[in-house]
Amino acid sequence: MNFRRSSRDEPEINLIPFIDVLLVVLIFLMLSTTYSKFTEMQLKLPVADTDVQRDYPKELIVAVSADGAYSVNRIPVVGRGLDSISTALIEGAKAGKESVVIISADANAKHQAVVTVMEAARRSGLNQITFATQSSSQSGGH
């Protein structure tokens, strides 16, 4: 006869240490992962593919050369200062404040030269600004 009580303790699985280890691994993976997609930018401007060329009846074309010279509607601007460009924009805007400023800058023009045209347009009250580009087929396949 077996007078002993059979007491079986059921094995208990403690999940808290397991969850702690998984969280540590998750944090390690999040911190060690690099996002190479955001670490570098490769820009190639100004090229754009457009299906239809828009026609602006109130256009005001501002050309910026590679050396920083300006012309408004094919008339050279004397001086490279903000005031001289602003004056040329006001004189060239046939439609007044409704004119659309099209900045046609050389690909090698300095960024500051384009920003100067944008600031001159803002001071002149011309708020509609766009940029002229060439299609990728005309750029020589670069």
Q: For the chain, first and last CA: distance in Å?
A: 96
Amino acid at 95: A
59-131 domain in CATH 3.30.420.270? yes
**Spatial distance between the Cα atoms of 19 and 26, rounded to a whole number of angstroms:** 10
Q: What pLDDT shows up at residue 88? A: 87
Low-confidence ranges of the chain (pLDDT < 50): 38-41, 43, 55-56, 141-142
Q: What pLDDT shows up at residue 1? A: 57
**Spatial distance between the Cα atoms of 63 and 66, rounded to a whole number of angstroms:** 10
Q: What pLDDT shows up at residue 39? A: 46
Q: What pLDDT shows up at residue 40? A: 47
Q: What pLDDT shows up at residue 72? A: 87
Q: What pLDDT shows up at residue 136? A: 63
Q: Is 99 helix (H, G, I), strand (E, B) or coil?
A: coil
| Cis peptide bond upstream of 17, omega within 30 | no
Q: What pLDDT shows up at residue 135? A: 66
**Spatial distance between the Cα atoms of 4 and 123, rounded to a whole number of angstroms:** 99
